[in-house]
Copies of this chain bind each other. A is one copy, B any other.
């Protein structure tokens, strides 16, 4: 059993965030010691999953859906497979971006617009336009 400060220290997640996560139903405390929340140690892997899900561009609501409320993830297998496919598509886009960046860093073509590698990058970028699955950075 961990109080919120211990959990915060072990996980690296600020206490305010832990309270927020509990409030929105992502984690659960199993009781109180005085005022203080007490958590079971299995919230640690759960927090790791949450962080990973965020890194993949899922909203907290989606992550809550994936994790379920019980301890056992108990998740819909088809949905998981679909999510995996979505992540895979995202990876492909990012691979193209990485290659494009690396190329741009070394390419000495007169104009990027004339460079075939750049052209390919553009095509992939434009392909992406339709599918509205974006991602953006979080402050801090």
Give the B-binding residues of A (Cβ under 8 A).
11-12, 42, 45, 48-49, 51-59, 62, 72-73, 75, 77-78, 80-81, 83-84, 87-88, 90-91, 93-98, 100-102, 104-106, 111-113, 121-122, 124-126, 128-130, 132-138, 140
Interface of A is mostly: helix
Q: In the assembled complex, which residues on chain B have CB atoms less than 8 Å from the CB atom of A78?
A: 105
Closest 7 CB pairs of A and B: A48-B125, A80-B105, A84-B101, A52-B125, A134-B138, A87-B98, A135-B135
Contact B97 A75 (CB under 8 A): no
Given contacts A55-B94, A81-B105, 20 further A-B contacts (CB under 8 A): A12-B129, A42-B113, A48-B129, A49-B122, A51-B129, A52-B93, A52-B128, A54-B134, A55-B134, A56-B94, A57-B135, A58-B137, A62-B137, A72-B111, A78-B105, A80-B102, A83-B101, A84-B105, A87-B97, A88-B98
A136 to B112 Cα, complex, angstroms: 30
What are 9 A-to-B residue pairs whose CB atoms are below 8 Å?
A12-B130, A42-B113, A45-B122, A48-B125, A54-B135, A55-B135, A56-B135, A87-B97, A87-B98
Verify B134–A134 contact, CB threshold 8 A. no
